[in-house]
Structure 1
Amino acid sequence: MSDADSSTSASLTEGEGGQGGRPAPSMSSFSSSLRAVVRIKQKYLAMKKRRQEAALLGLGPEGAPLGAPGRTSPRIFTFDGLPTFPSNVTQKKKKKRRKKVLYPPGGGRRAPPKQEQSRAKYCLYLLCAIVFLQVYNAIENLDDHVLRYDLEGLEKTLRREVFGQQGAVDGLLSHLKDYLSTYVHNKPLVVSLHGPSGVGKSHLGRLLAGHFRSVVGETLVLQYYVLHHCPREANAPRCARDLSALVSETVGRAEEEEKIPLFVFDEAEHMHGEILDALLQLVAAGRSNEHLNAVYLLLSNLGDRHVTRHVLHNSSGAAAAGRQGNLARELTPTLRDSLGQLHPLWAEAELLPLGLLEKGHVMECFLEEMTREGFYPDHTNIERLAGEIEYYPEVGGRQYSKTGCKQVVAKVNLL
């Protein structure tokens, strides 16, 4: 028996002797305690043996209990050493992912969800249709308003009966078309025709007044001749008051009929200062609405020297070919500066210069007048009558009349 057994038995004997008169434990309890001691001793020996073997083999750190996890340094993860798979495996996997979804039999293929459309889109369509109808209606109204004044007929009349002034006719028709295309304006239309005597200013004013009488009525057209209506300068204040009252009455009547009246002022170079002031107040933009819907035509020979000098200096070569179209553009700044010094009324007007008439234009005037009076239009007789007119010295192969067609009527009456 070993030392543990001897010590155990000694302690047991001492206990028996020291307990005095106590009864001794039974044999069964003694055998179970002995078995437990033996079992503990065997476990201790086995653990001791395993620790010694581990220390000899170097599998555990010194001083660390057996079974404790060993301390190791952290390891860095890399992709080195990972197993590689062939490319066809990944492709197969991708193909498997792209397979179509199968739906239960009998249910059919489900339709994709429909995107709901906003109701505001229909409102936008309706708004576009309304705007289109409004614009179309406005254009139709503009056409109706222009058709009321028959500007196409006026154009045919002016081109047929006005000779040598196609540039001025085009400018006048352009201003009338722009102004008469609507009934709402911020200022009246004021057109001033300037040129030497006999070039057709008064004739053009009579044609325009006759056309407007036929489309808007006799009462809405006023032809004012200064030398006839107000010949004396002493009566200028009274004439100015009467003219303002007459114009106000006419535009009031035109406002009731929703028409645009026409006022023709011939021989405007003889107008007195009071009459010019009255006209300036009538055409100013600060007047009431009915005074803004009117057409004023001023006819005068103011600036005739500028026109004559410009035509004679630019009547040769290629410059003469485009003279009619460039006359207004080239002379308007000069005329505006010259007329602005006379009265501020001319600053409110659209200036249209009329150039000199050539000998061919004078012959056309004779032909028109002889036809109107019932004479046979003999070309030889017309050429003889046209030769009796006084002309400027020939410039660039052209002869310009000093008096225009002013003496045509008197010479035809002598036939």
Structure 2
Amino acid sequence: MKVARVCLWLHALSTFAMLAGAFDPITTTVVFGVGAVLSRTIYNYLRESCNPKWISFNVTGLQEDLSTRLFGQHLASHIIAKAVSGFMNNANPKKPLVLSLHGWTGTGKNFASALIAESIYKEGMDSQFVHVFTAELHFPHAGQMDAYKTQLQQWIKGNVSSCDRSMFIFDEMDKMHPGLIDSIKPYLDYYDKVDGVSYRKAIFIFLSNAGGESIVQTTLDFWKAGRSREEIELKDVETSLALSVFNNKRSGLWHTSLIDKNLVDFFVPFLPLEYKHVVQCAMAAMSAQGLEPDAAVADKVAADLLYFPKAERVFSVKGCKTIDSKWEYYV
């Protein structure tokens, strides 16, 4: 309906312009000038553009989504909400926001990134201003490092030049070739502009399994001491996590200047999920398919997964990674 209405407006404007042009060249100029402005307005209305209509931060939505949809991650939810809110509400940030999300597979790192995108961009992860890089897909060959560095720099520069509120997500950082990510260090630093482009309003998010062992050990220590996981604070894991990532030779952040120069704003730990969290994931998966969540089915799904320690079966080995593909089997 909107597109049909737009076409009618343009047709009427074109007809009026031809009639006006038959009598008065000045009127023709004015009419076509108005038409050009209207066409740009309609274009921006229908197609995603780098303006507040398409990019507008919803702080309440982010906080609610993190607290109700990201299961078992009180610490990550708190850090992300504070970091993103503070950054997006700052009209003149000194540097881009750089978040490094760490934890075992299935703990919610990708999902959290999607929630951030949904809170900023009307189109969410489908936005043309959200760019996802996957190590094995985009940078598979170690022998092409120089080419990858140049391509990555050009890609980021080109996209930020088009929209300063661009977001870049680097998945599988633990599989990325060491040294590659250092090629974008100038864009993450405290510079007003780099080659005439300001990167201060961009967001960079790194996702990695590296450091997961450190996070799991801290969570296990709290459990063995009879303490709740909700008692874990950032200070309990941040230092050991940063060191673990920096010294992990299998990580794309190994000995990176991004850590050495303190350009990563937050190392965000994702804790291993417990049985109850897997049940919540299964319930959410059913709801996402428009079905009434069935607690009995969710419990069957959770019961068949692997847990550790082996005897106590407290933490899920794969988190919620396989839930979407498994729950239908039990219905």
Q: TM-score range by the shorter chain?
A: 0.7 to 0.9
Return the TM-score normalized by structure 2.
0.72
Q: 1:376 and 1:155 mapped to 2: Cα distance?
A: 25
Report SS of the residue matched to 1:314. helix
- The structure whose Rg is larger is 1
Q: Offset at 1:227? A: 1.9
The equivalent position to 1:173 in structure 2, one of 60, 81, 84, is: 81
Q: 1:293 to 1:367 in 2, by over 3 A?
A: same
Q: Say yes or no: does 1:232 pair with 2:141.
A: yes
Q: Superposition pairs for residues 14-29 of structure 1, below 5 Å?
A: none
Q: 1:400 and 1:320 mapped to 2: Cα distance?
A: 13
Q: 1:322 and 1:203 mapped to 2: Cα distance?
A: 20
Q: 1:409 to 1:322 in 2, by over 3 A?
A: closer
Q: Offset at 1:374? A: 4.1
Q: 1:234 and 1:287 mapped to 2: Cα distance?
A: 33
Report SS of the residue matched to 1:192. strand
The equivalent position to 2:277 in structure 1, one of 349, 361, 371, is: 361
Q: Offset at 1:409? A: 1.6
AA at the equivalent of 1:280: K
Q: Offset at 1:318? A: 5.8
Equivalent pair of 1:165/1:354 in contact (CA under 8 Å): yes
Identity over aligned pairs, percent: 23
Residue number in structure 1 paired with 2:27: none
| Higher RCO structure (Cα 8 Å, ≥6 apart) | 2
Q: Offset at 1:282? A: 2.0
Q: Offset at 1:196? A: 1.1
Q: 1:282 and 1:321 mapped to 2: Cα distance?
A: 36
Structure that is richer in helix per residue: 1
Equivalent pair of 1:303/1:339 in contact (CA under 8 Å): yes
The equivalent position to 2:131 in structure 1, one of 218, 222, 232, is: 222
CA deviation string 1:155-186 (max 9, x = no partner): 21222211000211111111112211222122
Equivalent pair of 1:222/1:262 in contact (CA under 8 Å): yes
The equivalent position to 1:392 in structure 2, one of 299, 304, 308, is: 308
Q: 1:404 and 1:183 mapped to 2: Cα distance?
A: 38
Residue number in structure 1 paired with 2:105: 197
Structure 1's consecutive aligned runs of 4 or more residues displaced over 6 angstroms after TM superposition are none
Q: 1:291 and 1:384 mapped to 2: Cα distance?
A: 48
Q: 1:393 and 1:218 mapped to 2: Cα distance?
A: 41
Report SS of the residue matched to 1:357. coil
Report SS of the residue matched to 2:205. strand
Q: Offset at 1:261? A: 2.0
Equivalent pair of 1:315/1:398 in contact (CA under 8 Å): no
Q: CA RMSD in A?
A: 2.5
Q: Offset at 1:281? A: 2.8
What count of residue pairs does the alignment treat as equivalent?
Answer: 263
Q: Offset at 1:300? A: 0.4
Equivalent pair of 1:165/1:355 in contact (CA under 8 Å): yes
Structure 1 gap segments, 5+ residues each: 1-143
Q: 1:215 to 1:383 in 2, by over 3 A?
A: closer
Structure 2 gap segments, 5+ residues each: 1-51, 248-253
Report SS of the residue matched to 2:243. helix
Report SS of the residue matched to 1:191. strand
Q: 2:218 and 2:298 mapped to 1: Cα distance?
A: 29
Q: Superposition pairs for residues 12-411 of structure 1, below 5 Å?
A: 148-214=56-122, 218-255=127-164, 260-286=165-191, 288=193, 290-316=198-224, 319-320=227-228, 322-324=230-232, 326=233, 328-341=234-247, 342=254, 343-346=256-259, 347-349=262-264, 350-393=266-309, 399-411=314-326
Equivalent pair of 1:195/1:300 in contact (CA under 8 Å): yes
Q: 1:362 and 1:245 mapped to 2: Cα distance?
A: 41
CA deviation string 1:362-408 (max 9, x = no partner): 0000111122234443222221111001111279x881111111121
Q: 1:218 and 1:374 mapped to 2: Cα distance?
A: 25
Q: 1:263 to 1:359 in 2, by over 3 A?
A: same
